[in-house]
Amino acid sequence: MKKKPFAFRISESTYQTLKRKAKRGHITMTEFLERAITDKDIVVVDGVQELINELKAIGRNLNQLTTLANMDRINIVYLSETKAQLSGIYEKLSALCEVNR
């Protein structure tokens, strides 16, 4: 739990830089500054959001199929295409991780 407020003055350009970098990392400016000061890694991997969106779409489709199966409206589902999509996402994610090492 954070209890101590801390304030300091910086130039407008430095403020905008901090704001941009925190936004790019999808974290608050406070969290960004804490990580920077404590030498914690600040890792931003471009392209991950696209993969997350694809995974969410696959998850939604699987949830819908599960619901239909539980309602006895479908009996057989072929998931070879889904498996191929997941393999593609895994390959893209592996490539992104290699680039950012």
Is the predicted pLDDT of residue 101 greater than 70, yes or no? no
- 21-45 pLDDT, tens digit each: 899 888 899 999 998 899 888 777 7
- Asked if residue 14 lies in contact with residue 52, where contact means CB atoms within 8 angstroms, the answer is no
Structure tokens at 6: 């801390």
> Residue 63: pLDDT above 80?
yes
- C-alpha triplet 15, 19, 22: angle, nearest 5°: 135
What's the number of CA atoms in the CB half-sphere (13 Å) around residue 18? 17
The residue among 2, 56, 46, 3 whose CA lies nearest residue 26 is 46
Q: Would you state the pLDDT for residue 2?
A: 74
Residue 100: pLDDT band by 50, 70, 90 thresholds?
Answer: low
What is the Cα Rg of the chain in Å? 21
Picking from 50, 31, 53, the residue whose alpha carbon sits closest to that of residue 40 is: 31
pLDDT of residue 11: 96
In the prediction, which pLDDT does 56 show? 95
